[in-house]
Structure 1
Amino acid sequence: MKKILLSSLILMMSYSFSFGAVYNQDNRIPVPYVLKTIKDFENNANTYEKALMRKNILHKLSIYGVNKIPDINDEVIGFIFHMIKLNIGEKKFQAGLNKMADLKDMPSLTWLQILRCFEDVDADSFYDAYFSKNPLIKLTVTNAEYISEKGNYYISFTLLRKYGDKIVNIPYVIEYDDKKEYGRLQSSIDREETFKVPVNTGAVKLVLDPNYHVIRMLNDNEKSPVIADILNKENILYIDKHYDSAVYSVFKNLKFVYDDEVKFSDLENYDVIIGSYDNKIAKFFADKRISSTDNSEYFIFKNPLNKDKYILIANNIHAGSIHLLENYAFNQELIFKNDKLISKSNMQTDMGITVLEHEKDVIIDVKKLDTFQDMMKKAAVYKVIFAGESHNEYSHHANQLALIEYLNNSKKKTAIAMEMVQYKYLNVVNDFVKGRITEKEMLDGIDYYNNWSFDYSLYAPIFRYARDNNIDIIPLNIEREITSKVYQGQIDNLTEEQKLALPERMRIINNEYENKIKSIFKMHADSTNKFTDFFISQNIWDEIMAKHLADYRKANPDTSIVVICGNGHAGKNSGIPLRYKRLTGEDSFVIMQGEPINHEETNADVYIYPEEIKSKGTPKIGVVIAANDKENGIVKVESVTKKSPADKAGIKNGDVIVKCGYHDIKNIGSLKYALYEKGYNGILECEIKRGKNILNKSIKLFEYDDSSEMDEMIKKHIEKMKKK
């Protein structure tokens, strides 16, 4: 009888309210309307399509708030009652609905009266949490780790919940390769709680609320930037060649800037509209290409200079199409032809909040392992081969040289592209390869010791092989001064010459790359610089190296190129190869050395784990050089490590090193080269200026461990410079 009555009541009435009226505590709400709303929302509630619908509702709520979107009132009300079902369970929830249906003599009730129909629901608290204000809960996950305790395995994490009722059940899923397990966590409001979810061994992933049963804010990885993110904003920066009245008719309180006058710093505090794909800012950040000159195209992404803001590029604006944006506001990209929508798209996003993903074990079948010779044969098919490295590993450089030798001996025209050399020194390395200058002149010419902090003995065999075999060296790097200025937030203060060195087109919309750069930035925990500036400087670095590589490849189509760079730059999905492919359309072969393999990321074609090659490298004498004298043409000793070669030779603080062997010492580079050339167990004859006197000192170059003392000296030196 109750079920018949419930169905009858649902069919009786269908009401629509403004959101303010629906949420008014004293307003009376028709029971049939509420029952129908709940039934519609709960119908097929566990399907993937309904999960996407709920996610879309949450996205709308997160942008507009409840009072601005009366067209989804029913869905929001259904969602709020869905939270009751989540907390009290199916049986008690159904009993509450039946109790509402029994109130046939009172077809209209207040929200509090409706809530009191449900057992175990604190009506006043629930109303205050979800009806009297924006109902979106905020979940923050930290300290996630995969742990073992007493023979059992867990994913442990801290959860902080803001807003919502006192207690909320949070659904979760544990994903394995062959199955999924579901459960719920009971979360208290405004408390950091540590949860330990039992899991099996092996690959496992824990996701909170994967099907959107909780009315909550979406995390960034769950939502694509959409045009709605900027559509109803005010105080927007509008950049274009000329005013367009159509833009002003849709967007309010625009601040107009001509596109040849805009500065990067102008973007930091604004949402931005750019009136053309051909604008320098649009090309620098997004590198969008028009699909057709007849089309109106709109593309939105997060402002790289302020992740709380957005940039909308509107290309070939038509009055008709721009007024249709509201109709398709929850898309990242829209393309119109003759004011009719022909394409819409969003970036792929996560379903739920990923707490932790414990990766699959990497299984290597030793019977199928390639030999180094097999690997080189595979690589030789490609015109561009990235040979990644950890900079200080001699074995990695030995493998790079072996690959270069293989290509050269195969009668392939070969070139070597190097991260270690700045592009402005192209003529210097050309002169070295052609035998017109010596090795030391080359190192001085490219300012190796100031621009690259790693021991030259690591790279010397590659440089010499290039010289002895007349192999082109392609400098890839951009001037350090440019990336340093960008990192310090001074991109607008670059000289005109430096601005010309920046890439004209760049694409920085890559979450994987951004996450990788964030992990690097966290290593500089004491940095006072902003991540956004660091991120842009890294993008410029990789982009310009890809451009120099692509330019050489275009000019030398028959040449095979081995790219010598750090593993961090060599990743297929996030480094130079991805940008090189965007610029040329050409795939490359990527070798990573010593890097962990990730099943989910095909970041390389081959991973090599070489046996360590031990090398003493360039001798050290145990001195710290005064920083303020490096540019004055003198090398002045600031401190001397105890029991070091310099200490035993009688070098003292304040001494100026004038000459070592036959090398005049005018900078740290010339001192390092003199040490490199002499090698261990030799005796380096030096001239030292102490006060007005010139002293001769014989420094015996022996091995010693100065790491702990040098670390302490460097710390003191840094503190001293900070005070200055």
Structure 2
Amino acid sequence: MPRQIIRSFPRLVPLVFAALSLVAASGVRAEDAARTGCVPPGVWADGTGTAVEPVPLLRRLADAPVVLLGEQHDKADHHRWQLHTLAGLHALNPDLAIGMEMLPRRLQLVLDRWVAGELTESEFLKETDWRTVWGFDPAFYLPILQFARLHRLPVVALNVERSLISRTARNGWAAIPAAEREGVGTPAAPTETYRSRLTETLATHDRSESQAAAPSDAAKRFIEAQSVWDRAMAEKIAETRRTTGRAVVGILGQGHTLYRDGVPHQLADLGIADAAVLLPWDADRDCDELDGRIADAVFGLGPAREDAEPQRPRLGVQLDPGPDGITVGSVSDGSVAAAAGLRSGDRILAAAGSAVRAPADLVAVIRRQAPGTWLPLTIRRDGAEQELVAKFPAERR
């Protein structure tokens, strides 16, 4: 789903500090606010960007049946914010369950064993095959998983196999036999705004495929695949709410939540119309997106501090995983990707000769990249394949 990326994460923050850092609204100087955009760091705001008092907001959210915490998958600060928000909600309502997009339903027993304290971190990562199944740095998610185990909170695998979504995108939902749908029901028809956004995404990211087939057919299957993906996660959230009575905090990509389309729309069809959507708000994010509909509340983040993160090979792209591969959502200025000539909308087909079908494939190759080395990339742009070379800088000393 759109807009996702790559960094690192500290160990579990104690509950008291997490909760205090969440609810204490810091004083932000006017010059800082101007420098970091419309939502100053450490400030909660509503969907229009208007600052709100954090304590009443969290009290209201703690009473919601579902709270969805959107993320860009490889942004460390997004995961820190999720942990702090989770801690704040738990301080007000200890009867929580945590739903995670990162793992498919077949791994639920592994999650149960983790929460019960039966697995070490390394055993958990091995049994989930984390690097292949999800691929983004497990250090981003382990603090949340440790929090769940510390407080014995149920953790629910929300996702389905990637192959189910890919098959839907290729052939349509009707072509998949009921016995092979992993229990997922037929999704509610998406909103017109969601259709428009996904159609635009398809046209931007895969012009070759949309030209090869009838555009309406390609768009229809793409939208159907995304709706099945949303429906699958919404059904597990609704089932957890119904069977446990707990409020469910969803950890998932923000593309599934924006404007209450995606998962919130499917939840409403399942009888949960009052799910709350929360987003971290990056300092450089376009303030025009705060139109009152994008989320129930957002939390301002400061500018990214590269020096605060362990140095790892970084390509510097925002990835858009989709049913049939990954495309480049955006390219960071001054990054390795920018120097290599990557552009928004490029589909990454291969890295160092290995096929790239999911973020995990690209992440694995980049992790093996030594400082000062070159990485050949095969991309598709405007219907034609091209070869690019990304050069990683020498290690800092």
Length-normalised TM-score, structure 2: 0.61
One-letter amino acid matched to 1:382: A
Unaligned runs of 5+ in 2: 1-36, 211-217, 316-351, 354-359, 388-397
Q: SS where residue 604 of structure 1 aligns?
A: coil
Residue 404, structure 1, aligned to residue 86, structure 2: yes
Residue 516, structure 1, aligned to residue 197, structure 2: yes
**CA distance in 2 between partners of 1:441 and 1:455 (Å):** 16
Q: 2:300 aligns with which of 609, 622, 636?
A: 609
Residue 427, structure 1, aligned to residue 109, structure 2: yes
**CA distance in 2 between partners of 1:527 and 1:487 (Å):** 15
Query: What residue number does 1:72 align with?
Result: none
Query: What residue number does 1:548 align with?
Result: 236
Deviation per residue, 1:108-127 (Å, 9 max, x gap): xxxxxxxxxxxxxxxxxxxx
CA RMSD, Structure 1 to Structure 2 (Å)? 3.8
Q: SS where residue 523 of structure 1 aligns?
A: helix
Q: SS where residue 592 of structure 1 aligns?
A: strand
Query: What residue number does 2:343 align with?
Result: none
Q: CA deviation at 1:620?
A: 5.1
**CA distance in 2 between partners of 1:493 and 1:617 (Å):** 46
**CA distance in 2 between partners of 1:501 and 1:393 (Å):** 32
**CA distance in 2 between partners of 1:522 and 1:567 (Å):** 20
- Contact 2:67–2:250 at 8 Å: present in 1 too? yes
Q: CA deviation at 1:600?
A: 5.1
Q: SS where residue 507 of structure 1 aligns?
A: coil
**CA distance in 1 between partners of 2:190 and 2:81 (Å):** 33
Q: CA deviation at 1:539?
A: 0.7
- Measured at CA, do residues 413 and 555 of structure 1 come closer, stay the same or move farther in structure 2, by a change above 3 Å? same
Percent of residue pairs bearing the same amino acid type: 22
Q: Which has the higher strand share?
A: 1
- Measured at CA, do residues 377 and 484 of structure 1 come closer, stay the same or move farther in structure 2, by a change above 3 Å? same
Query: What residue number does 1:28 align with?
Result: none
Q: CA deviation at 1:491?
A: 4.4
Query: What residue number does 1:576 align with?
Result: 263
- Contact 1:388–1:566 at 8 Å: present in 2 too? yes
- Contact 2:70–2:280 at 8 Å: present in 1 too? yes
Query: What residue number does 2:278 align with?
Result: 591
Paired residue total: 284
* Max Rg structure: 1
Query: What residue number does 2:346 align with?
Result: none
**CA distance in 1 between partners of 2:280 and 2:193 (Å):** 20
Q: SS where residue 81 of structure 2 aligns?
A: helix
**CA distance in 1 between partners of 2:85 and 2:101 (Å):** 17
Deviation per residue, 1:610-630 (Å, 9 max, x gap): 1235454684599xxxxxxxx
Deviation per residue, 1:532-560 (Å, 9 max, x gap): 21111001001111111101100111x22
Residue 389, structure 1, aligned to residue 71, structure 2: yes
Greater relative contact order structure (CA < 8 Å, 6+ sep)? 2
**CA distance in 1 between partners of 2:259 and 2:314 (Å):** 41
Query: What residue number does 1:528 align with?
Result: 209
**CA distance in 1 between partners of 2:190 and 2:238 (Å):** 21
Deviation per residue, 1:364-397 (Å, 9 max, x gap): 8999723555542332131211111122221111
- Contact 1:404–1:414 at 8 Å: present in 2 too? no
One-letter amino acid matched to 2:258: G
Length-normalised TM-score, structure 1: 0.35
Unaligned runs of 5+ in 1: 1-361, 623-652, 655-667, 677-700
**CA distance in 1 between partners of 2:372 and 2:184 (Å):** 42
Query: What residue number does 1:439 align with?
Result: 121
Q: Which has the higher helix share?
A: 2
Q: How does 1:170-249 map to 2 (within 5 A)?
A: none
- Measured at CA, do residues 371 and 389 of structure 1 come closer, stay the same or move farther in structure 2, by a change above 3 Å? farther
Q: How does 1:313-332 map to 2 (within 5 A)?
A: none
Q: CA deviation at 1:599?
A: 6.0
**CA distance in 2 between partners of 1:387 and 1:443 (Å):** 23
Q: CA deviation at 1:363?
A: 7.9
Query: What residue number does 1:303 align with?
Result: none
- Measured at CA, do residues 620 and 495 of structure 1 come closer, stay the same or move farther in structure 2, by a change above 3 Å? farther
- Measured at CA, do residues 507 and 470 of structure 1 come closer, stay the same or move farther in structure 2, by a change above 3 Å? same
Query: What residue number does 2:140 align with?
Result: 458
One-letter amino acid matched to 1:561: V
- Contact 1:455–1:617 at 8 Å: present in 2 too? no
